[in-house]
Structure formats: structure tokens, C-alpha cells
A and B are shown apart, each in its own frame.
Chain A
Amino acid sequence: DGGITQSPKYLFRKEGQNVTLSCEQNLNHDAMYWYRQDPGQGLRLIYYSQIVNDFQKGDIAEGYSVSREKKESFPLTVTSAQKNPTAFYLCASSIVLSGATTSNYGYTFGSGTRLTVV
């Protein structure tokens, strides 16, 4: 079955450390996204990519970095510059819409990674 796999499910980071969250999809989707979720703030976009070797900053990119070396993979690195990294992180993927009518216009989400700074 096609889907998105995020790992690990839980991650603990010491202050000053960089950590990388994994996101892999086998849906042949061109676009992939990283969202951060905090209580009461909904989902905030960190980075997105719609093609290999290209990505764009979202609303809260500071302190994060990404790469898109393969279509299937979009890892997120939380750097030491991110001052408040404790949150739930969601990865998603979709096709890139071009204006033509399509029934496949939704997001597929991973199951998330809970990152805690210790």
C-alpha cells in the first residue's frame, strides 16, 4: 500500500544538538511538506518542495533546514538555532495541481514525530 512513513515516532534532543526527522513516501507525489503543530495554533508550514533539488520556505522556516535529493524523501533537520523546537511535526505529500480538473487533489499525511528537548 502507498503511503508516507515518518520516523521516529518520538525523538528527544539535547539543547544545542541538531536532529533530523525522516519522511519517505511511495505515492509518486511531486510535492512534499513539513508542518509544525503546537497547541492552539493549528498547522504551520515550515518548508515545502514541489520538485527534486528545490524547496521553498514556509511561514516558520527559521531554525530548520531540508533537502530533497530524491522524489521519495524529504528529511527535516531541526538545528540548534531553533529556540523552541518541542512540538509535533507532520509531513505530507500531494500532486502539484496545474489547473486541470482532477480527483486527486488532497494531501496524504504521515503519522507524525513528537520532538522533545531535554
Chain B
Amino acid sequence: AQTVTQSQPEMSVQEAETVTLSCTYDTSESDYYLFWYKQPPSRQMILVIRQEAYKQQNATENRFSVNFQKAAKSFSLKISDSQLGDAAMYFCAYRMNTGNQFYFGTGTSLTVIP
């Protein structure tokens, strides 16, 4: 069974600093997709970044980047130049290349300190 683990229930970062959120997953599949979603106080789920497992290059979206280590089954999210608007719950998610179901971690609550 696929599982996604986020071992940091809460994290904090000073404004303008860099923070890394951890995510590991368990799968026997070789082809899959990984995601980081942000859930601000509005509760709307927002896609932050995504990664295809067959791509070796780490995905980057502006201040957000990932460190994808396929052999280690690790998918961490780095937020650079943290802003107050980055404060939210962050969920890591996994999806196989067939079928439809996503598997979510339990989330990391990020606080940004002014």
C-alpha cells in the first residue's frame, strides 16, 4: 500500500529566510507523480509544485523547489525568501501513473515570523 509521511507537524521560519519541509513515501511503483499542496486559512487547496517520477530534474516554481530523491523515496519542499503569505498547512501527495487515487500526508503547519 502506498503511504505518505510528513514527520514535521509544525515548522516556523523567519520572514525572508529559507525553510525545508520533509516528505517521504512508500511505493513499489516506478512511475508516479508527487505534489505539494498549500492550504491557507481559507481552506482552499492550492497546488504549489509537482514532480513526475521519471524526471531526474527537480521541479522549480519561483521561490518553491523540491529535492526529489527517488531511491530514498523522499520529496522535500524548499521555500526560499519566505513571505508572510506562505503561512499555511502544506500537504505532500502521491499518485500512481494509473488509476485515480491520491495519497496525502498528514500535513505540516508552517508559521512565518515577521
Chain A positions within 8 Å of B, measured between CB atoms, are: 31, 33, 40-43, 45, 48, 50, 88, 90, 92, 94, 96-99, 105-107, 109, 111-112, 114
Contact = CB atoms under 8 A, between A and B. Distances in A.
Contacts of B102: 33, 92, 94, 107
A88 B35 CA distance: 21
A40 B100 contact: no
Interface string B32-54: 01010000001111010010000
Interface in B65-112: 91, 93, 95-102, 104-107
Nearest to B99: A97
B95 A105 contact: yes
B100 A99 contact: no
Given A41-B106, A45-B101, A109 B45 contact: yes
A40 B89 CA distance: 10
Per CB-CB distance, the 7 closest pairs between chain A and chain B, nearest first, are A109-B45, A42-B106, A31-B100, A43-B104, A99-B98, A112-B43, A96-B100
A96 B99 contact: yes
A6 B102 CA distance: 20
A52 B35 CA distance: 27
